[in-house]
Structure 1
Amino acid sequence: MDSGLDWLARSGPGTDTRGQIAPVFGPGDGNLANYLWDGFRVRIVDFEDSGRSDRAFELAEITEHVGSWVEHPFDVPAFLEHFDLSPAETSRLRESRRLLALVWLFLLASEATENPRNPPGTVERQAGRVLELLA
């Protein structure tokens, strides 16, 4: 958490990417259970957190959601190869992944120990993911 908080304190508003990153309507919830694949098309359910977003942030939502890796590993590099991102989107993806991984670390660390929703060791694994993304 200390490394994540140090990164967050050093992070500024970033480069002005207006005009470089197209807005999209995004679901805002990267839980893979919200994406239904019928063999031909992906259908999205659960628009509770939806709104104006961008591709990079939505991809970060999917890749960093705890449901994408806690039980069954998600091949993030193979998934991201399917998207032709601009340099601005690539930068935004990296920073969004870091931020969302840190958010998940805080959420998991505050999970009730008497009734955990995730397998033992999940917080430690998430801490490792944060450190990897910050490297």
Structure 2
Amino acid sequence: MVKRFRPGSREQGEREWRALGLLDTYAPGLAPVPERAELEAVEATVVMSRLPGEPLRGQLLADRQLAALAATLGELYAAVPPDVLSEVPIRPGQQHQLVAQIHAWTPEARPRVGVRVGEAMDRGLEWLARSGMDGPVRPDVVPVFGPGDGNLANYLWDGSRVRIVDFEESGRSDRAFELAEITEHVASWVEHPLDVAAFLAEFDLDPVERTRLPECRRLLALVWLFLLSFDDPENPRNPPGTAERQAARLSRLLS
């Protein structure tokens, strides 16, 4: 399988290649096997093996699939040894970057949305102002290797196991943030909603992670509210009313 990156996206190719190499070493079978890469080309390419299975996105996940997804993520998060992980760059799109992006979006997004979405945005922005999420991650949060993308389309079910593709946003992260990436991604609820409570119950989070997870979920939910508010009504990527549904989701998380 050949993955090509747009011109100017060399860093994405580098992250993909690094991730495939790390997982081939420390968690073989979890992700495609890296074969070769051309990262200096105008369009960087990464060549890898092809994995079997069907994407989990759009499926109503049975208990067996949910447990398999959690097991795969648990293996992934624990795969890279701490001394090796310390040399891996922090993944893009971390919390302070998302906060800055929300502030950049607000002047354009807020005037164009309807009442329900606007009210949820305002509540989210009020929470954000007092959340402390614009600062660095607390030093007592245990780092893990994270794929950096919560889209269930990147998780392939072969009937017995879940494997992962797409690591162009990967890097050093933490479990709470990565789990929030999955639970709050539009792919986890727009069709067949993920059973979030059952999914999160599969993870034995420490007290710091349990405190951090709701905050990460609120932040990611607010990001998705802004993203969905920019959906072009003439060429929508999601069903009508998705932004309003997301406004309700965010409101519940803020309650």
TM norm structure 1: 0.93
Match of 2:232 in 1: 112
Over 3 Å counting, the alpha-carbon distance change for 1:55 and 1:16 in structure 2 is closer
Give the 5 Å matches for 1:48-87. 48-87=168-207
Code of the residue aligned with 1:27 in structure 2: it is: P
Q: In structure 2, what is the Cα distance between the partners aligned to 1:15 and 1:33?
A: 30
Match of 1:38 in 2: 158
| Structure 1: gaps spanning 5 or more residues | none
Code of the residue aligned with 2:156 in structure 1: it is: L
Q: In structure 2, what is the Cα distance between the partners aligned to 1:54 and 1:40?
A: 27
Identity, in percent, stands at 75
Q: In structure 1, what is the Cα distance between the partners aligned to 2:233 and 2:184?
A: 22
| Structure 2: gaps spanning 5 or more residues | 1-120
Match of 2:215 in 1: 95
1:26 aligns to 2:146 (yes or no): yes
Q: Deviations over 1:91-112 (max 9, x none)?
A: 1111100000000000000111
Deviation (angstroms), 1:41: 2.8
Q: Which runs of 4+ in 1 moved over 3 A?
A: 13-17
Give the 5 Å matches for 1:3-18. 3-13=123-133, 17-18=138-139
Deviation (angstroms), 1:124: 0.4
Q: Which has the larger radius of gyration?
A: 2
Match of 1:121 in 2: 241
Q: In structure 1, what is the Cα distance between the partners aligned to 2:136 and 2:166?
A: 32
Q: Is the 8 A contact 1:57 1:96 kept in 2?
A: yes
Q: In structure 2, what is the Cα distance between the partners aligned to 1:38 and 1:59?
A: 22
Q: In structure 1, what is the Cα distance between the partners aligned to 2:132 and 2:175?
A: 21
Over 3 Å counting, the alpha-carbon distance change for 1:89 and 1:128 in structure 2 is same
Greater Cα offset, 92-101 or 41-50: 41-50
Q: In structure 2, what is the Cα distance between the partners aligned to 1:16 and 1:101?
A: 18
Q: In structure 1, what is the Cα distance between the partners aligned to 2:136 and 2:172?
A: 19
Q: In structure 2, what is the Cα distance between the partners aligned to 1:92 and 1:42?
A: 26
Code of the residue aligned with 1:55 in structure 2: it is: R
Deviation (angstroms), 1:23: 0.8
Deviation (angstroms), 1:16: 7.0
TM norm structure 2: 0.50
Over 3 Å counting, the alpha-carbon distance change for 1:16 and 1:71 in structure 2 is closer
Match of 1:132 in 2: 252
CA RMSD of aligned residues (A): 1.6
Over 3 Å counting, the alpha-carbon distance change for 1:23 and 1:16 in structure 2 is closer
